[in-house]
């Protein structure tokens, strides 16, 4: 064994035990995998490789890997010679890459996933050590501080074939593994018993069922141990099965865990992150995939949508009803209902006439509210401007004979943009500028992109998409146009006796179906190679020898773009399928940036890949109105925010499919307020679920939004920190308490930021919740009562459906906006909210100290002007509050504090507190201090709040 670094001789007992278990692993055997592919004993049949010509320098190692014998050919041709490249890129990051030594293979393009610039560090300075065994080749990654093996392929054969790569590692028994999404599974992946297979292949997955591949692909996991946390990321966009299992060592009879990658192509491109704690791993991963984009302040408000708003009247009435109910609505959304026959970049001239839509948008903007619509990638194969411009620009995906590749989506027969085409960004930006022109079109504030796996309703082989569209009723039949049935506040001409403005209904344009055969006007010239790059002619790109567990009936190409399609740059859909939604996100980001220069784009997508958070946010897809999915949304958003670095995330509040009950919607309205992205959305054949439809849900929503808006600057500050350094805006409990083993499986509680513990009721009919409180001090967010955690469960009773248990972690200072006025009404918009003063809530920890942060900028600009940002840190000890940092003098950036509330204190010994008005609550143990005119905080302030208190 070659050790490519100095290794400490002193190894702790716990690390030694883990090392021995991890390196004495055996392979798992089964009979048939979940997709029907026969499972072979790879380690018995395949001998792997031998390492030759090992060369090392200060920060790198290279070696030649030669196939032992003739190989095994389990799922194709073995690559005879490989190249190993190892680089210590940072103290905490190790890069290990295995490629074909003689031929170039597909890798994720640099234009799609920019590689991090390594600073280079010597192997001696690294926290990690790469260890190499020459024959048969295997490698391990070791934590130097204690010699613990983090990743080891020892005892497992490396298989590297033209359409199949297999690598396997052993882990300690009962491993705590998180990530490998997108999925609807517990936060800590269930590897006990029969284990689990995580399949990565983007799929339109209505109902987000457990045990299946979903919309996005994030081949990264965090392995959390008491000795530390590390992360492993494989940069590969090919379809893959990642098998996690528990097995028994045949000699010691000790249990071990294993992770096995089965990949349909590409290369092995591993990044290892040393941590040593979960937050550090998150930060290190962010340096590779990219730091998340900062979102506009208004994007953290409450959003409302529905698939099935019949017409502009429905949309206008929803806006009005939220206003009447005094539920703050920040942004109104419209699904594909606004389109003519579901054709993107069109309006239905009868149901959503342009002047009425513009009237809605103008009304929203006049009230400091916002408007968002959906845009899908699939474009109707019809004679209309967007399709025709795409033909002219040659940007549609094509078959090998040059004809357009077609599927079936909401408009019926459709074509799909080729995001690799040289003209695609110009085309996409132009469509946005045309249709969303502020003066002549729809002046949207953000955009929602969907169906970008890409989804198609046409089962493979989709030989007759026209017939399939007719059979499936695409586009769907719509209800007839109508006039407003009643007056709508905000729309004066809908009232009786008003001078009614007659809307001239345009005649519906007659759709012109385009033949799939030889129309010279519509057939673009083929600009792609017939044989894709990096593949031989005899390779099967439709049904490769190894079948991943894709949860559809007809293989990789079922209900999506076919995998033998070749892009304009020669890459195959087989290799790049999992990048489609990610590339649409990038193109849309630049289109929105061009439309609104200098302003942060607000984009929510469905399909994601590693690094998507640098451009977009994510909603958790087409969930159902069930208690199970209400619960699973917590793990879903924690995965995206804390692990995948896509922090603007949330579920469809109250559920998308099925009918939400009043109780479920009330509970979800409360929980949704603690999602970074907060939107109520459901589908057309379900009952409406806007918050104002139930009295209890109205009350729950007002309470929840009131709490959210109080905390909005706290959330915005935490989000900015993740944008700056990758520190998660949402945290599983084990991120905050990494040494507490009881926190490792918890996924029904979470930290909002790092200091707000949310413990929702999660069972139907329940009015209590049993929550875990670590060994720390906490304070009820709403009542301020103190709770001393003992590292045990606590049952919180009498939690009605308009309440949610929320606690402040001791040691925090929270800058809270005075979002709720004296009458109990909440600021109706984030613009109004930003004009309000703060209160500082000081929640001392066990040591009597507390600290906090506050970040304020203009809320929308990508680049902030010099002197336009307030960024301050608070600290509290012994009755003194200190402020340091930068405070902008510009309007809207000042920090006016009306009152200070100090929790966990008894009666003040001295009543004369520097002229402050004092309110002492002995029962709750808190002191509220008010100052005439409040405090306008400045950097360097040192405020003596009081002297001498009974803690």
* Residues with a known catalytic role: 450, 453, 622
Residue listed under structure tokens 């005899």: 538
CA distance 328 to 350: 30
CB environment 213-240: b (16+ within 10 A), e (fewer): bbbbbbbbbbbbbebbbbbbbbbbbbbb
Cis, peptide link before residue 260, omega less than 30° from 0: no
Quote the tokens at residue 302. 């409450």
- Cα separation, 176 vs 838, in Å, equals 41
317 half-sphere exposure, CB direction, 13 A CA radius:
16
Query: Would you say 55 and 74 are in contact if contact means Cβ atoms under 8 Å apart?
Result: no
Report how far residue 951's alpha carbon sits from residue 811's, in angstroms, rounded to the nearest whole number: 14
Q: How far apart are CA 744 and CA 637, in angstroms?
A: 16
Alpha carbon distance 346, 337 (integer Å): 11
User: What is the rounded CA–CA span in Å between residue 757 and residue 749?
Assistant: 7
Angle at 696 between CA 694 and CA 697, to 5 degrees: 65
Q: What are phi and psi of 336, to 5 degrees?
A: -70, 0
The edge-to-edge listing of strands for the beta sheet with 196-200 is 159-161, 164-172, 255-263, 240-248, 196-200
Which residue's entry shows tokens 């692909």?
217
> 642 near 282, Cβ under 8 Å?
yes
935 burial type by CB count under 10 A (0-12 exposed, 13-18 middle, 19+ buried): buried
Please state the separation of Cα 565 from the chain's center in Å.
Answer: 28
**Is residue 333 classed as helix, strand or coil in its secondary structure?**
strand
The encoded tokens of residue 498 equal: 């008003």
Is the distance from CB of 813 to CB of 774 less than 8 angstroms? no
Burial (Cβ within 10 Å: 0-12, 13-18, ≥19) of residue 707? buried
Q: What is the 3-state secondary structure (H, E, C) of 824-881?
A: CCECCCHHHHCCCCEEEEEECCCCCCEEEEEEECCCCECCCCCCCCEEEEEEEECCEE
- Alpha carbons 841 and 535: distance in angstroms, whole number: 62
Question: How crowded is the C-beta side of 427, counted as CA atoms within 13 Å?
Answer: 24
What's the farthest any 2 CA atoms get from each other in the chain?
A: 92
Torsion-angle region of 468 (φ positive above 0: left; ψ -120 to 50: alpha; else: beta) = alpha
Backbone Cα Rg of the chain:
29
Among residues 174, 172, 249, 230, the alpha carbon closest in space to that of 17 is found at: 172
Q: Rounded CA gap, 926 and 911, in Å?
A: 14
Phi and psi at residue 317, to the nearest 5°: -70, -35
**Tokens read off for 103:** 């031929």
Asked if 689 and 798 touch (Cβ cutoff 8 Å), the reply is no
Secondary structure class of 262 (helix, strand, coil): strand
Which of 517, 526, 510, 563 is CA-nearest to residue 391?
A: 526
d(CA 469, CA 409) in angstroms, rounded, equals 8
Between the CA of residue 324 and those of 320, 484, 487, 490, 931, what are the distances in Å?
6, 18, 13, 11, 35
Q: Distance between CA 805 and CA 783 in Å, rounded?
A: 10
């Amino acid at each position: 064994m070659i050790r490519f670094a100095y290794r400490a001789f002193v190894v702790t007992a716990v690390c030694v035990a883990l090392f021995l278990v991890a390196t004495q692993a055996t392979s798992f055997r089964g009979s048939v995998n979940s997709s029907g592919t026969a499972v072979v004993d790879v380690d018995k049949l395949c001998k792997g490789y031998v390492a030759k010509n090992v060369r090392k320098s200060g920060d790198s190692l290279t070696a030649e890997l030669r196939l032992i014998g003739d190989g095994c050919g389990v799922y194709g041709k073995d690559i005879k010679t490989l190249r190993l490249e190892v680089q210590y890129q940072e103290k905490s990051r190790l890069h290990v890459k295995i490629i074909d030594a003689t031929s170039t293979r597909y890798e994720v393009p640099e234009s799609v996933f920019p590689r991090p610039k390594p600073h280079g560090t010597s192997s001696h300075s690294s926290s990690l050590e790469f260890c190499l065994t020459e024959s048969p080749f295997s490698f391990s990654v070791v934590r130097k501080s204690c010699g613990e093996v983090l990743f080891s392929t020892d005892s497992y054969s490396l298989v590297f074939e033209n359409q199949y790569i297999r690598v396997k590692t052993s882990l300690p028994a009962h491993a705590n593994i998180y990530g490998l999404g997108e999925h609807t599974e517990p936060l800590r992946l269930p590897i006990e018993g029969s284990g689990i297979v995580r399949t990565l292949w983007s799929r339109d997955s209505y109902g987000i069922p457990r045990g299946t591949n979903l919309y996005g692909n994030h081949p990264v996991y965090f392995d959390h141990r008491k000795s530390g946390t590390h992360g492993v990321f494989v940069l590969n966009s090919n379809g893959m099965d990642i098998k996690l299992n528990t097995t028994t060592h045949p000699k010691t009879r000790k249990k071990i865990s294993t992770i096995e990658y089965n990949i349909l192509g590409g290369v092995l491109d591993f990044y290892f992150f040393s941590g040593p704690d979960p937050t550090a791993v998150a930060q290190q991963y962010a340096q590779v995939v990219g730091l998340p984009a900062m979102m506009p302040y208004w994007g953290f408000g409450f959003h409302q949508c529905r698939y099935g708003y019949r017409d502009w009247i429905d949309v206008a009435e929803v806006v009005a009803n939220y206003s009447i109910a005094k539920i703050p609505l920040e942004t109104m959304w419209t699904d594909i209902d606004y389109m003519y026959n579901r054709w993107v970049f069109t309006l239905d001239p009868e149901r959503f006439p342009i002047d009425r839509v513009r009237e809605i948008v103008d009304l929203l903007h006049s009230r400091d509210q916002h408007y968002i619509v959906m845009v899908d990638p699939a474009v109707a194969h019809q004679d209309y401007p967007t399709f025709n411009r795409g033909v002219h620009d040659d940007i549609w995906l094509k078959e090998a004979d040059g004809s357009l590749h077609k599927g079936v989506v909401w408009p019926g027969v459709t074509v799909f943009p080729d995001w690799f085409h040289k003209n695609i960004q110009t085309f996409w930006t132009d469509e946005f500028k045309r249709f969303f022109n502020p003066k002549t079109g729809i002046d949207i504030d953000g955009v929602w992109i969907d169906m970008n796996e890409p989804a198609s309703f046409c089962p493979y082989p989709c030989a007759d998409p026209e017939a399939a569209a007719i059979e499936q009723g695409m586009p769907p039949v719509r209800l007839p146009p109508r006039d407003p049935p009643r007056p709508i506040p905000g729309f004066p001409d809908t009232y009786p006796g008003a001078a009614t403005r007659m809307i001239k209904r345009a005649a519906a344009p007659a759709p012109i179906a385009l033949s799939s055969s030889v129309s010279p006007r519509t057939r673009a010239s083929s600009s792609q190679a017939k044989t894709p790059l990096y593949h031989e002619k005899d390779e099967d790109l439709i049904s490769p020898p190894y079948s991943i567990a894709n949860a559809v009936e007809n293989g990789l190409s079922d209900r999506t773009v076919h995998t033998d399609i070749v892009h304009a740059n020669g890459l195959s859909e087989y290799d790049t399928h999992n990048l489609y939604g990610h590339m649409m996100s990038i193109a849309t980001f630049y289109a929105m940036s061009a439309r609104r220069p200098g302003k942060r784009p607000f984009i929510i997508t469905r399909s994601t890949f590693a690094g998507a958070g640098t451009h977009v946010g994510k909603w958790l897809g087409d969930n159902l109105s069930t208690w199970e999915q209400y619960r699973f949304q917590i793990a879903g958003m924690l995965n995206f925010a804390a692990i995948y670095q896509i922090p603007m995330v949330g579920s469809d509040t109250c559920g998308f499919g099925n009918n939400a009950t009043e109780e479920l919607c009330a509970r979800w309205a409360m929980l949704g307020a603690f999602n970074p992205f907060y939107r109520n959305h459901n589908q057309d054949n379900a009952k409406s679920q806007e918050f104002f439809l139930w009295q209890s849900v109205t009350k729950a929503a007002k309470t929840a939004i009131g709490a959210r808006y109080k905390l909005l600057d706290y959330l915005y500050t935490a989000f900015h920190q993740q944008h700056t350094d990758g520190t998660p805006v949402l945290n599983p409990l084990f991120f905050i308490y990494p040494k507490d083993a009881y926190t490792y499986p918890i996924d029904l509680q979470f930290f909002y930021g790092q200091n707000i513990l949310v413990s929702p009721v999660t069972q139907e009919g329940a009015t209590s919740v049993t929550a875990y409180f670590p060994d720390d001090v906490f304070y009820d967010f709403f009542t301020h009562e103190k709770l001393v955690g003992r590292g045990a469960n606590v049952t919180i009773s009498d939690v009605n459906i308009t309440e949610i248990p929320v606690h402040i972690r001791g040691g925090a200072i929270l800058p809270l906006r005075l979002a709720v006025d004296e009458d109990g009404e909440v600021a109706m918009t984030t613009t109004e909210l930003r004009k309000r003063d703060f209160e500082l809530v000081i929640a001392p920890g066990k040591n009597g100290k507390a600290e906090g942060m506050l970040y304020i900028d203009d809320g929308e600009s990508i680049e902030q002007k010099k002197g336009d940002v307030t960024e301050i840190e608070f600290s509290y000890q012994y009755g003194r509050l200190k402020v340091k940092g930068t405070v902008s003098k510009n309007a809207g950036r000042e920090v006016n504090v009306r009152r200070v509330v100090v929790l966990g204190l008894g009666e003040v010994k001295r009543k004369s507190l520097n002229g402050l008005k004092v309110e002492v609550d002995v029962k709750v143990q808190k002191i509220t201090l008010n100052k005439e005119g409040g405090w306008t905080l400045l950097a360097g302030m040192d405020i003596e709040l009081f002297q001498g208190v009974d803690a």
